[in-house]
C-alpha cells in the first residue's frame, strides 16, 4: 500500500472552451485556441506551449490568472490568426534552459534556440541545431544518417548538465556534456552501435539497449529515463550513461525483450500504450500513457528492475479506465491523447492534444 497520499485537481485550462463538453474546443488560430498541442513547459515565470497543429509556439508571461487566458507572444507565425508550416513544421518539445528558449522543430529535423526569451511576435531564433542554417529542413542534413543530424527530433532534455535529444526517426538518443553548438559530435549515443546507422531496435529485436521510437526524456543526477514509445515502455539508466550501455530499468513491460500492446482492454497500473511523454520532479515520475488517455504517477521514482506499478492515475477513474475522455464528454479532469508533460514543483502541465488544450494540474502530496 502506497503511504504517500495524493490530492490532485486541474488548476488551469489553456485553449478554447468546450461548452457542455459535447464538442472539442475550437482549434482555429487566435490568442486563445490551441490545435493538438504536443509540448508544454511551465515554471514560476512563464508557460510555453507547442501549438503543433497550428505550427506555432505560444508564450504566456506570468501565471495565467484565468482559464482560456490569451497568450502574450506567438512564434512561427506573423500574427495570432495565421496558420500553416513556416518557421515550424509540427513543433513538439519546448523548454527554457539557462534562460534560453529551445523548441524541437520535429518535421524540419532541427532544434531552434532563442538566446533570450522572445518579447515580440514572430521573433526569429538565434541559432539552430541539426541543420547548417535556418534554410535547412531535410532529414539528417539532407544526407545519410550521421552523428550531427536529426530525423524527427521530437524532444530533448537538460539533466544534470547533460543535454539529450530524442532523435526519434533515427531511433537513438544523443547526449552532450553541456549545451552543444551545431556540428559538435555527441559525447554519447544510445540505441545504436555508432552514429551512422538507425535500425529499429538495432536490427536485432527488442532488448536492453534498443529503441523503436524514443520520444521523450527525463531524469535527475541519479537516473536517465527514456520514453521508448514505439516499444510501449520506459527505459531507465542508473547512473545516467556516459557510454552506450544496457538499461537497468524497464517500465510498461514484464522484461526487456517484450514490446507487448493490447488495445481496448483494461491496462492496469503497469502497462503503457505509446507513452509519448515523461517528466520528473524530485522523486515523482510522471508518464503520459498517451493511447490509454491517462497520466501515471510513480511517487517513488523506480531506478532498477521491471514492471513496477504506478501509484496513481490522472485522467481516468481508476487503473482499469483507458477511454478518450472516459468515453464521455470533455471535462476539466478528462484526457484525450495526452502528449508532452512537464513537472514544476507541485504543478503538472499536460499537452492534452486530442482536446486541443493544455491542462495544468495541482498535485499535493501528504
Q: What is the pLDDT of residue 3?
A: 76
**Average per-residue pLDDT in the chain?**
97
Q: What is the pLDDT of residue 2?
A: 54
Distances (CA, A) of 182 to 110, 167, 176: 10, 15, 11
Q: What is the pTM of this model?
A: 0.98
Alpha-carbon distance of 361 to 93, in angstroms, equals 19
The DSSP symbol for 252 reads: B
Q: What is the pLDDT of residue 62?
A: 94
- The pLDDT of residue 47 is above 70: yes
- Which cell goes with 355? 482536446
Confidence of residue 20 (pLDDT cuts 50, 70, 90): confident
Alpha-carbon distance of 236 to 249, in angstroms, equals 5
**22-26, 156-160, 217-221, 344-348: the lowest-pLDDT one:** 22-26
Distances (CA, A) of 336 to 97, 133, 314: 29, 36, 12
- What mean pLDDT comes out for the span 268-278? 98
**Cis bond leading into 239, ω under 30°?**
yes
Confidence of residue 1 (pLDDT cuts 50, 70, 90): very low
- What mean pLDDT comes out for the span 112-134? 98
Residue-wise pLDDT tens digits, 59-91:
999 999 999 999 999 999 999 999 999 999 999
Residue-wise pLDDT tens digits, 131-179:
999 999 999 999 999 999 999 999 999 999 999 999 999 999 999 999 9
Task: Determine whether 170 is exposed, middle or buried from the number of CB atoms within 10 Å of its CB (0-12, 13-18, 19+).
Answer: buried
Alpha-carbon distance of 37 to 351, in angstroms, equals 6
Domains of the chain: 4-363 (2.120.10.30)
Q: What is the pLDDT of residue 366?
A: 87
Confidence of residue 327 (pLDDT cuts 50, 70, 90): very high
Amino acid at each position: 500500500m502506497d503511504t504517500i497520499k495524493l490530492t490532485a485537481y486541474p488548476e488551469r485550462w489553456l485553449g478554447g472552451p468546450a461548452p457542455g463538453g459535447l464538442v472539442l474546443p475550437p482549434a482555429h488560430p487566435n490568442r486563445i485556441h490551441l490545435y493538438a498541442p504536443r509540448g508544454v513547459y511551465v515554471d514560476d515565470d512563464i508557460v510555453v506551449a507547442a501549438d503543433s497543429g497550428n505550427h506555432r509556439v505560444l508564450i504566456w508571461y506570468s501565471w495565467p490568472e484565468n482559464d482560456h487566458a490569451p497568450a502574450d507572444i506567438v512564434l512561427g507565425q506573423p500574427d495570432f490568426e495565421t496558420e500553416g508550416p513556416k518557421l515550424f513544421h509540427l513543433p513538439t518539445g519546448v523548454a527554457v534552459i539557462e534562460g534560453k528558449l529551445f523548441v524541437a522543430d520535429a518535421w524540419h529535423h532541427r532544434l531552434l534556440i532563442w538566446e533570450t526569451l522572445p518579447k515580440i511576435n514572430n521573433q526569429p531564433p538565434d541559432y539552430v541545431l541539426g541543420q547548417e542554417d535556418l534554410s535547412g529542413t531535410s532529414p539528417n542534413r539532407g544526407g545519410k544518417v550521421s552523428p550531427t543530424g536529426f530525423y524527427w527530433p521530437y524532444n530533448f532534455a537538460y539533466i544534470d548538465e547533460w543535454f539529450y535529444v530524442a532523435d526519434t526517426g533515427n531511433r537513438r538518443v544523443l547526449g552532450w556534456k553541456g549545451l552543444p553548438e551545431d556540428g559538435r559530435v555527441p559525447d554519447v549515443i544510445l540505441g545504436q552501435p555508432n552514429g551512422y546507422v538507425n535500425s529499429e531496435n538495432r536490427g536485432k529485436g527488442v532488448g536492453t539497449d534498443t529503441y523503436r521510437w524514443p520520444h521523450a526524456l527525463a531524469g535527475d543526477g541519479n537516473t536517465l529515463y527514456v520514453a521508448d514509445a514505439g516499444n510501449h515502455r520506459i527505459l531507465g539508466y542508473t547512473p545516467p550513461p556516459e557510454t552506450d550501455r544496457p538499461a537497468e530499468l524497464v517500465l510498461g513491460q514484464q522484461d526487456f525483450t517484450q514490446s507487448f500492446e493490447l488495445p481496448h482492454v483494461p491496462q492496469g497500473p503497469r502497462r503503457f500504450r505509446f507513452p509519448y511523454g515523461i517528466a520528473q520532479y524530485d522523486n515523482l515520475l510522471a508518464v503520459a500513457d498517451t493511447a490509454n488517455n491517462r497520466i501515471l504517477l510513480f511517487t517513488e521514482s523506480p531506478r532498477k528492475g521491471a514492471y513496477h506499478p504506478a501509484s496513481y492515475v490522472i485522467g481516468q477513474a481508476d487503473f482499469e479506465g483507458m477511454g478518450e475522455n472516459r468515453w464521455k464528454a470533455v471535462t476539466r479532469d478528462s484526457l484525450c491523447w495526452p502528449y508532452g508533460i512537464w513537472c514544476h514543483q507541485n504543478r503538472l502541465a499536460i499537452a492534452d492534444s486530442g482536446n486541443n488544450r493544455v491542462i495544468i494540474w495541482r498535485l499535493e502530496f501528504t
